[in-house]
Amino acid sequence: MATLELIDVCKKFGASAVLQDVSLSVDDGEFVVFVGPSGCGKSTLLRTIAGLEDASAGLIRIDGAVVNGVDAAKRGLAMVFQSYALYPHMTVEQNMAFGLKLARLPKADIDARIKAAAEVLKIGDLLGRLPKTLSGGQRQRVAIGRAIVREPKIFLFDEPLSNLDAELRVQMRIELARLHARLKATMIYVTHDQVEAMTLADKIVVLQAGRVEQIGAPLDLYNRPANSFVAGFIGSPRMNFIAARIEAIGPQGVRAAIGGEGDLVHFAVDGSRLRIGDSTILGIRPESIAIRPAGDGETTGLAAEIILDEQLGSGTCVHAMTRAGDILVSYLQGQVPLRKGAAVRLSLPATACHLFDRDGTALVRLE
């Protein structure tokens, strides 16, 4: 039950800067997910919050109080590790009681808390077992249970599900969401899986190379990515990116030519910072691209040829190559009978097209 605030937090290991000017705030009861590619500094950021690493610069506040320099043991946080990190010589019950015993809680309280947590996590009949006799999923529950009984100010999770198989991962994801709803605790969760991020988070923090790329609610990031990195990282299948050259700028948006043929696409974005002839990048999500068979005198949209179709059952992923050689992926609902080699027309709706300048920064969308 706490708030967290980071102000310009930096972390250096020797000469290499792993975190650079990370600023963010977490509200009481919020579920915040740190997401980003491998090696971007997610774990380091989490460990810095935990106090397992010292910030090289910047401030960390928990409930308003600066905790830089406060020992990890004294910050009142609990962490669930990717490796579970259960004490191998202690039973499940002893694992869960460890932190409480160190805090000198009365035995009755300890027992009551363990009982309650075991019930929530359905590990009641494992209490007498040693960690080595448990399955991965059971260990994960115990690790979460060990955090719950501490009633920490903030829960920290470092990729807690990544060692589980796909099915169990989905199941545990749902249980974690329920757990959060039930405990109403502040939780910070690290993952490189954007689906986990989208489904669990109240707020997502996208990190890349130690910097915050964007912070926002899942759908905000999805609908209004601040830059091409976030746009590409959030959403599956991935957003399409193709080069576009600015041809016209007006109050309703801009027009840009894509491909060698100069097919014009309209964007509902603020073009006041652009000039005619600027090279930019068009981004469009696969599900926003509509496909119609070519012919029938159809002239709107981009002419393209289907080079690959992936039938997923619930939907179809169509890879189409334009005459300029750009490949666009379109995701269509249902089982669409489009086959390789078919000539089609792709329509890119203006409201669904994102435009990024040469640095990858998104142009502001007109509402």
Partner 1 sequence: MSAMRRLGPLIANLAMTALALMFLYPFYWLIVSSFRSQEAMLVNPLRLMPESFDLAAYTSIRLVGGVPIEVYSFNSMLITVLATVLAVATTALGAYALYRRPHLPGFKFVQFGFLLTMMYPAMLLVIPVYLVMFRIGLLGTYAGLVMFLALQPILFLMFSQFFRSIPRDLMDSAKMDGASEWQVLTRVVLPIAQPVVNTVFLIGFLLNWKQWLPILVVAASPDRYTLPVALLAMNTEYGINFQSTMALAALTTAPIVVLFLLTQRRVIGGFVAGAVKG
Ligand X SMILES: Nc1ncnc2c1ncn2[C@@H]1O[C@H](COP(=O)(O)OP(=O)(O)OP(=O)(O)O)[C@@H](O)[C@H]1O
Interface ranges with partner 1 (CB under 8 A): 47, 50-52, 71-74, 77-79, 81-83, 85-89, 98-99, 102-103, 146, 150
Residues engaged in binding ligand X (CB under 6 A): 13, 18, 36, 38-44, 192
The rounded distance, in Å, linking the Cα atoms of 200 and 186 is: 13
Helix extents (H) in 103-235: 107-121, 136-149, 166-183, 194-200, 218-223, 228-233
13 binds, among partner 1, Mg ion, ligand X, none (CB under 5 to 8 A by kind): ligand X
44 binds, among ligand X, Mg ion, partner 1, none (CB under 5 to 8 A by kind): ligand X
87 binds, among Mg ion, ligand X, partner 1, none (CB under 5 to 8 A by kind): partner 1
Q: How far is CA 209 from CA 46, 112, 255, in A?
A: 15, 44, 33
Question: 38 contacts which partner out of ligand X, Mg ion, partner 1, none, CB within 5 to 8 A by kind?
Answer: ligand X
Q: Which one, 48 or 240, has the nearer CB to ligand X?
A: 48
In the bound complex, what is the minimum distance in angstroms from residue 45's beta carbon to Mg ion? Answer: 9
Q: How far apart are CA 2 and CA 185, in angstroms?
A: 8
Nearer CB in complex with partner 1: 96/172: 96
Q: Which residues, listed in sequence order, are joined to residue 362 by a DSSP beta bridge?
A: 356
Distance CA 147, CA 127 (A): 15
CB-nearer residue toward partner 1: 158 or 196: 158
Question: What residue 144 binds from ligand X, partner 1, Mg ion, none (CB within 5 to 8 A, per partner kind)?
Answer: none
- Both tokens of 362, joined, read 């998104």
Q: Which does 79 bind (CB under 5 to 8 A by kind): Mg ion, partner 1, ligand X, none?
A: partner 1
Smallest separation, CB 47 to ligand X (Å): 7
Shortest Cβ 190–Mg ion spacing (Å): 6
- 8 Å CB contact between 154 and 2: yes
Report the candidate in 108, 74, 111 with the shortest Cα–Cα distance to residue 96: 111
For Mg ion, the closer of residues 144 and 239 by Cβ is 144
Q: Residues 304, 346: contact at Cβ < 8 Å?
A: yes
In the bound state with ligand X, the residue whose beta carbon lies nearer, of 205 and 306, is 205
Picked from partner 1, Mg ion, ligand X, none, the partner binding residue 11 (CB below 5 to 8 A depending on kind) is none
Residue 24 or 183 having the CB closest to Mg ion: 24
Residue 327, contacted partner among partner 1, Mg ion, ligand X, none, CB below 5-8 A by kind: none
Minimum distance from residue 36 beta carbon to ligand X (Å) = 6
Angle (CA) 226 228 230, round 5°: 60
Of 43 and 316, CB closest to Mg ion = 43
Tokens encoding 1: 């039950």
Interface mask toward Mg ion for 35-64; x: CB under 5 A: --------x---------------------
User: At its nearest, how many Å lie between partner 1 and the CB of residue 54?
Assistant: 12
Residue nearest to ligand X (CB): 43
95 or 191, CB closer to ligand X? Answer: 191
Quick one: how far is CA 254 from the chain centroid? 30
Q: Cβ of residue 277: shortest distance to ligand X, in angstroms? A: 39
Q: Write the DSSP symbol of residue 361.
A: B
- Binding residues (CB under 5 A) for Mg ion: these are 43
